[in-house]
Amino acid sequence: GTIDEVASRGWAVPFVDQSEQPKPSSDMVPKKNETDAINEWERMIVVDFVPGLGGMKEEAELLEVVNNMMADIQDMGEVGWLRSLGKEEAEEYVIDESLVGVPALSDMFSLTSSLRSVVNDNARIAFWREALKNGIESEHACSEMFTTLFVKPRAGYYSYDLVMNPSDGPPPQDYESSASNPACVMSLIAAISTHPYTLSVKANFPIYHGWLVAQKLDSF
């Protein structure tokens, strides 16, 4: 499934530590290898809108809707993180009035909702609790991931791609809060799936040799 894919070694968004990169020189000859193939293709989350919302007339309309979705998700993540703090620790933070009445992301996701009448967590529930705790509901809030996300509208504006490692723009500076952290991507998928604007969400598959290399890496 989608979660297995984005958590795999082959799909995982590569993180390049800029401080460890060699400085280019005039006599350096670029070489292509399997690692380059893995790093070059853009990882995307494909999202379909619910009927009645898609088919917008302009790209700007779609981008506004997506921006609102991401803002909703970040707000729910912040509420979830604040709720995880102890009472005294939480009192150190000034809670924005806009968050009053906003549900925690973990409550919106059925498997981790505090409304569930489950006495003992099973492995699946524990998995998702950890993904949210280390992802969007963490202190870092996957801020680098949201900062570097790039939206690509699809034909007809009935769906869009969220590019996790866009080839344009500055690279993320922090691993833990970036899309290279699987918990950030998994919690984003969970969050998108709970949003009322979403019909479906899935990961992309490259149509060229990069994916074959990715499969090879996963088989090690």
pLDDT at 209: 47
Does 168 score more than 90 pLDDT? no
Q: Residue 42: pLDDT above 70?
A: yes
Residue 3: CB atoms within 10 Å: 16
Whether 161 shows a pLDDT value over 90: the answer reads yes
pLDDT at 51: 92
Nearest to 152 by CA among 142, 166, 170: 166
Q: Determine the distance from the C-alpha atom of residue 149 to the mean position of all C-alpha atoms in its chain, rounded to a whole number.
A: 8
pLDDT digits (tens, 9 = 90+) for 126-141: 899 999 999 999 999 9
Say what the pLDDT of residue 115 is.
57
C-alpha dihedral, 144 to 65 to 62 to 159, nearest 10°: 80
Strand stretches in the chain, DSSP E: 44-49, 150-153, 159-163, 198-203
Look at residue 169 and tell me whether its pLDDT is greater than 60: yes
Distance in angstroms (rounded) separating the CA atoms of residues 127 and 24: 42
